[in-house]
Amino acid sequence: MSDALTIATGGMNTASQRLDAVAGRVAALGTETVPDQGGGALPPAATIDLSATALDLIEARTSFALNAAVARTADTMTKRTLDILA
């Protein structure tokens, strides 16, 4: 059962890192301009696929929530096993 908890913790760490990376991209949207082909400047939002960014945020949140559920289930199973053995 500790294997499930270890795997769930690793999954939550990975989801958290992914969320940090996506949040960093979102935060950087209004900070700089990117030169376009016509000699003007486009805001970064015009050069980034916002729907893919939103999808990445949703996937990271869902992954974290699912791994947290696995951790809660592993904890419940451990408690019940200890209650049976006691």
Per-residue confidence at 43, pLDDT binned at 50, 70, 90?
low
Query: What local confidence, expressed as pLDDT, does residue 2 receive?
Result: 76
Quick: pLDDT tens for 26-36. Answer: 777 766 565 55
- For residues 71 and 8, is the Cβ–Cβ distance under 8 A? yes
Structural domain count, the chain: 1
Per-residue confidence at 23, pLDDT binned at 50, 70, 90?
confident
Host domain of residue 74: 2-85
Q: Exposed/middle/buried for 73, CB within 10 Å: 0-12, 13-18, 19+? A: middle
* Residue 68 scores a pLDDT above 60: yes
